[in-house]
Structure 1
Amino acid sequence: MKRLCTICARSGSRGVVNKNIRQLGNKPLLAYSILQARASKLFQTIAVSSDCDEILNAAHKWGVDYLIKRPKPLAADNAPKVPAIKHCLVSVEELTGETFDIIVDLDVTSPLRYVSDITDVVRLLETRQISNVITGTPAHHSPYFNIVEIDNQGTVKLSKPLAKPIICRQDTPKCYDLNASIYAWQRGALLKNQTIFNDDTILYIMPMERSVDIDSELDFQLVELLMSKRGKDIE
């Protein structure tokens, strides 16, 4: 079983400038995912995909196996992530002459994951023989209870009203926020589809304290706080 870890880190972040190589503790944000992938001992190959030479240079410093220069169209603000992962997979296979069975993408902006989260996701994917596994965390708000939409008339309605209104939040159907931490695919499923959702996709649930996805300065500060309380960089 050959496994590839991809780490996709484009330039041009608007919410947090240069966030992928910004210092978090004593290392750049990018380094956490690289070190976690290495510590898992799951991967024959770890590759970083980026449109930015500075990011690729940082990845080289932290010991990845392959640096994949991403085409500009795959690094635009509105570009979906799956095509970038596919490009990275195909590029590494062309460079190595190998075919990978399992592809795991670690999002740079989710450094609070544990190494055990990675190993558990891969184990789930391989033992269940499903197309893919994605990660999420219990949602703080519910579309059945306290997430609303504004309609064309400017009035507010629940996003997902039920025939029988729910009085207590605890009675709502369970919902989850995707935390953009780990995506794992069987090779065929990744190459066949354009989205992360398949008929047999499974969710691996992580706690909130390991599920902060850095999209803003506030997120970055929260990760810094949680990392300092944890006491060590990689778990």
Structure 2
Amino acid sequence: MRICTITVRAGSKGVPGKNLRVVAGRPLFGHSVVQAARSGLFDEVVVSSDSPQILELAPTFGATGVVVRPPEMATDTAGKVPAIAHAVRETELRTGRAFDVCVDLDATSPLRTIDDIRGAVAMFEASRPDSLITGAEARRNPYFNLVEELPDGTVAVSKTPDDAVLRRQDAPRCFDMNGSIYVWRREALLEDQVVFFPSTILYEMPAERSTDVDSEFDFAVVEWLMSRRTDL
């Protein structure tokens, strides 16, 4: 059995009220709920939030359940994974069912497609790791053209390879996490409440579907890209 969570905080410093701001005809968070519901993959689609307005709206976009996010899990410094685990546990208590595969769709990453969700879940179920993340190929490579500042003010390539890398194409492939889709094995999520395990794998997505809304600029980019989509 599979569960999909969408965890949505009421507050945001970078873009105040971003999850309720309308983009392409829906509040930002609503796109992730619709995608989960339309994917046909999930036995439960659950929205977790500290916002009464978000919890009230969630079923109108296809959520089968809502979970009130505890205040201590909704602060600016609180991690997201404990809130996901909390939503899974609360839903299991409500439904009396245990979910083998736990998926989370980030509410601020609406550019993913339903095929991305299906592809990530299929990859996870074929490989059976503890977790899966999504990402796009990095624009800068730490073996070639990503540098870091050293204590003395000089800079150097972030990762020194065993052999000199003369072309970016010869460097190991690196990815930017886009935070769009996370998948866990139930026990790994509930017991450890972390993203990375030795077995973690990555599902690659293109850059044009990998923007996460964390600033007004990001919101403008997402709004423009979604205005060109026909699958919403």
Which TM-score band (shorter chain)? over 0.9
Alignment match, 2:139: 140
Greater displacement, 4-13 / 164-173: 164-173
Check conservation: 2:3, 2:42, Cα contact below 8 A. yes
Q: Distance in 2 between matches of 1:165 and 1:220?
A: 39
Structure 2: 5+ residue runs without aligned partners?
none
Name the SS for the 1:152 alignment partner.
Answer: coil
Check conservation: 2:129, 2:199, Cα contact below 8 A. yes
Q: Distance in 2 between matches of 1:126 and 1:167?
A: 38
**Residues 114-134 of structure 1, C-alpha deviation per residue, up to 9 Å, x if partnerless?**
101111111112222222211
Q: Does 1:100 align with 2:99?
A: yes
- Cα displacement (A) at 1:186: 1.4
Check conservation: 1:5, 1:106, Cα contact below 8 A. yes
- Cα displacement (A) at 1:196: 0.8
Alignment match, 2:29: 30
Check conservation: 1:21, 1:58, Cα contact below 8 A. no
Alignment match, 2:169: 170
Check conservation: 1:144, 1:159, Cα contact below 8 A. yes
Alignment match, 1:48: 47
Describe how 1:171-190 pairs up with structure 2 within 5 A.
Answer: 171-190=170-189
**Residues 97-142 of structure 1, C-alpha deviation per residue, up to 9 Å, x if partnerless?**
1111111100011111110111111111222222221111100111
Q: Distance in 1 between matches of 2:55 and 2:25?
A: 19
- Cα displacement (A) at 1:171: 2.1
Q: Distance in 1 between matches of 2:162 and 2:198?
A: 27
Alignment match, 1:3: 2
Q: Does 1:231 align with 2:222?
A: no
- State the superposition RMSD in angstroms: 1.4
Q: Distance in 1 between matches of 2:226 and 2:130?
A: 32
Q: Distance in 2 between matches of 1:68 and 1:111?
A: 21
- Cα displacement (A) at 1:166: 2.5
% of aligned pairs identical?
A: 47
Q: Distance in 2 between matches of 1:17 and 1:168?
A: 42
Q: Distance in 1 between matches of 2:194 and 2:138?
A: 21
Describe how 1:49-198 pairs up with structure 2 within 5 A.
Answer: 49-198=48-197
Aligned residues: 232
Q: Distance in 2 between matches of 1:185 and 1:208?
A: 23
Could you tell me which amino acid in structure 1 is paired with residue 222 of structure 2? Answer: V
Check conservation: 1:145, 1:166, Cα contact below 8 A. yes
Check conservation: 1:135, 1:182, Cα contact below 8 A. yes
TM-score (ref. length: structure 1): 0.94
- Cα displacement (A) at 1:231: 2.9
Check conservation: 1:3, 1:100, Cα contact below 8 A. yes
Alignment match, 2:207: 208
- Cα displacement (A) at 1:35: 0.8
Structure 1: 5+ residue runs without aligned partners?
none
Name the SS for the 1:17 alignment partner.
Answer: coil
Name the SS for the 2:99 alignment partner.
Answer: coil
TM-score (ref. length: structure 2): 0.95
- Cα displacement (A) at 1:232: 3.4
Could you tell me which amino acid in structure 2 is paired with residue 118 of structure 1? Answer: I
Q: Does 1:218 align with 2:217?
A: yes
- Cα displacement (A) at 1:170: 2.1
Q: Distance in 2 between matches of 1:170 and 1:63?
A: 43
